[in-house]
Amino acid sequence: MLLSFFIAAGLICVSIALLNNRMVTKALTACFAVLHIGLTVYCYANLNDIELRYFTFNSTGVLLLAVLSIMTIPTIYHGFIYSAGDDTRKFNIYHVALIALMTFMSGAYLANGMTVLWIFVEATTLAVGLLIYHDRTEIALEATWKYVFICSAGIALAYLGILFLGFIYGREDAASLSFVALAEIINQANPMYLKIAFLFVLIGFSTKMGLFPMHTVTIDAHSVAPPPVSALISTTLMNVGFLAIFRVYRLFSSSSILLFMNSVLIIAGLLSLLVAAGYMLKAKHLKRMLAYSSLENMGLVAIAIGVGGTGYYAALLLLVLHSLAKSSLFYQMGQLSRVLHTFKLDDCGRYMKLYPAGAMVLILGLICILAIPPSGLFISEFMIFKGLVYNDQWLVLIAAIILLCFVVYSMSTRFMHIIFSNPRKEPDIQAPESIKPVESVPQFVFLGIVIVLCFYQPPFLVDLINQSIKLLP
C-alpha cells in the first residue's frame, strides 16, 4: 500500500506537469487527498506493521499522519481559491509542489531509521522552497533562498548527529541506522557520543520544528508564503521536526543522558518562549505574529518533553490541537487579505463589520490558540504546569507563565484591533472582495474539534498517544 501511494503521488505530479490543464490539476489533486486519507486509514488498521523495510506504521507517525490527512482537503481547497488568478503554469507548479510536500512529510512520519527520515526531511525543503516563491516577488525570492540555505545548513548539522549515531553503532550494517537496531546497543555507547549526537539532531531538526535557535527560517517564510502553505509549514511540517527530535530522545531515554536531554529541551523551550513573547510585542505583520505564536507553542512542547511524566502526553496532545487551531487561523488570513487587502496590522480594522464569519473565526481561534477554556490546549498546558510543580521546577514554571502572559496580551490586543477598531492608518481605498461564509466552514470545524477535545478525547486518540509514550521513563 505504501509503495502504491508513493508511485501514485509521483504519477499525479508528472501528469499535472505534462497535461497543463487546470481542471485536470484540480481533479488529480482532489484524488491525491482521497488517496492520502486512504493511506492513513490503512496505516491505522495495520499499526506497527513494517513495509518496504524502511517504514513502520508506529503510533506516533500514524497520529501525525492523521493530522496531515485531516488538513489535506481544506489546504487544497483554500489553495484552489488562492491560486485562482494564476496562469496555468504557475497554478500547476503550486499543486505539484504541494503534493510533493505532503508526500515527503508522510514518508518522514513513517520512516523507521534516521537515514530515511533525514532524506525525506531534506526533500521537504525543496518542495517548500517552490511554494514560498509562488508569488514570484523579490521578497519571496529572498525568503526562499534564506529558507533553503538555513534549512540545508540545519539538515547538515542533523547529519553530523546521524554520523555520531553511526559511531555508536560501529558495525558494517549500520547504514540503515534503524531505531530498533540502535535501541539494542544504546546503553553500551559512550555517553559523550550520545550527548553530541542529541545536540546536533536537536539544533539541526529545529529548523523544521521552528524551535530556538533555528527558528528564524520559518518566521521569514510565513511572511511571503501563501496562507494555505503557511498553514502546513506552521503545523504538519513542524510536527516532522518534532518527530525527528522525539524519536532520538525516545531512543536515548534509557541511557544515562536522560537528565541532560531534559535540561537542554527545557532551556530551548524557555528561550523559544522568550523570543516569541519579545517579538510578538512589536509584531506588525499578522502572519509573522502567528509564526511567533507557533514558536511559542513549540517551546511549550519542548518544555513538556523535558518535564517528562504527564508532559509526554501533553506534548503530543498539544501538537494535535495546535495543528488544528493554527491552520484555521492561517486559512482565515487568506480570507482576511482578500477583504482588507493587507497583512499589516496598522492597515487592518473593522473586520467584524466587513466579514462577520471571518471575525468569529478569529475570536474562536484566539481563544483556542491562547489555551483559554474551553480550548483543548488548556488541558495540555495545565498538564505541563502540573508536571513542573510535581518536579519542583518552580523557576521554570514562573518564567513560562510570565512569558505566556506577554503572549496573551500581544495576541489578544492585536486581534481585538483587527476585529473591532478602525485602522490606525487609512489604507488606499479598495473595495473588499466578497467572501462566501462557506469558505470558513472548515475553520469552524477544526476549532470545534479543539474545543470538544477539552472535554472528551476519543479512545483511539488516547491509545495512539499512550502507545507513543509507553516506553519512556
pLDDT at 177 over 80: no
pLDDT at 187 over 70: yes
Q: What percent of the chain has a predicted confidence (pLDDT) above 90?
A: 56
Which residues are CB-contacts of 346 (< 8 A; sequence separation ≥ 6)? 284, 423, 424, 425
**pLDDT-derived band of residue 155, with 50, 70 and 90 as boundaries?**
confident
Return the pLDDT at 318.
95
pLDDT at 355 over 60: yes
Q: What is the rounded average pLDDT of the residues 145-152? A: 88
Return the pLDDT at 256.
85
Q: What is the rounded average pLDDT of the residues 48-76? A: 92
Cell digits of residue 296:
511559542
**How many CB atoms are closer than 10 A to CB 170?**
10
Sign of CA dihedral 337, 341, 343, 345: negative
Which residues are CB-contacts of 11 (< 8 A; sequence separation ≥ 6)? none
Closest CA to 266 of 217, 302, 218: 302
Return the pLDDT at 164.
78
**pLDDT-derived band of residue 141, with 50, 70 and 90 as boundaries?**
confident
Return the pLDDT at 444.
95
pLDDT at 200 over 70: yes
Q: What is the rounded average pLDDT of the residues 417-435? A: 75
In three-state secondary structure terms, 281 is coil
Say if CB 148 and CB 218 are below 8 A apart.
no
Return the pLDDT at 422.
86
* CA pair distance 159, 148, nearest whole angstrom: 16
Q: For 261-271, what is each residue's pLDDT tens digit?
A: 999 999 999 99
**pLDDT-derived band of residue 462, with 50, 70 and 90 as boundaries?**
very high
Return the pLDDT at 9.
94
Q: What is the rounded average pLDDT of the residues 331-352? A: 88
**pLDDT-derived band of residue 429, with 50, 70 and 90 as boundaries?**
low
Closest CA to 211 of 414, 219, 407: 219
Cell digits of residue 68:
496531515
Q: For 7-42, what is each residue's pLDDT tens digit?
A: 999 999 999 989 888 999 999 999 999 999 999 999
pLDDT at 138 over 70: yes
Q: What is the rounded average pLDDT of the residues 64-84? A: 93
**pLDDT-derived band of residue 467, with 50, 70 and 90 as boundaries?**
very high
pLDDT at 428 over 90: no
Say if CB 130 and CB 232 are below 8 A apart.
no
Return the pLDDT at 437.
84
pTM of this prediction exceeds 0.95: no
Q: Which residue has the higher pLDDT, 348 or 427?
A: 348
Q: What is the rounded average pLDDT of the residues 162-185? A: 66
Render 38-75 in DSSP notation, one character per residue.
Answer: HHHHHHHHTTT-EETTTEE--HHHHHHHHHHHHHHHHH
pLDDT at 431 over 80: no
Q: Which residue has the higher pLDDT, 302 or 197?
A: 302
| Cell 534564506 found at | 146
**pLDDT-derived band of residue 169, with 50, 70 and 90 as boundaries?**
low
* CA pair distance 203, 346, nearest whole angstrom: 35
In three-state secondary structure terms, 429 is coil
Q: What is the rounded average pLDDT of the residues 283-309? A: 91
Cell digits of residue 16:
499535472
**pLDDT-derived band of residue 185, with 50, 70 and 90 as boundaries?**
confident
Closest CA to 198 of 122, 250, 121, 275: 250
Q: Which residue has the higher pLDDT, 251 or 331?
A: 331
| Cell 512569558 found at | 403
Return the pLDDT at 379.
93
Q: Which residue has the higher pLDDT, 445 or 252?
A: 445
Residue 404: alpha-carbon gap to chain centroid: 20
pLDDT at 426 over 70: no
- 113 forms bridges with which residues in the sheet? 178
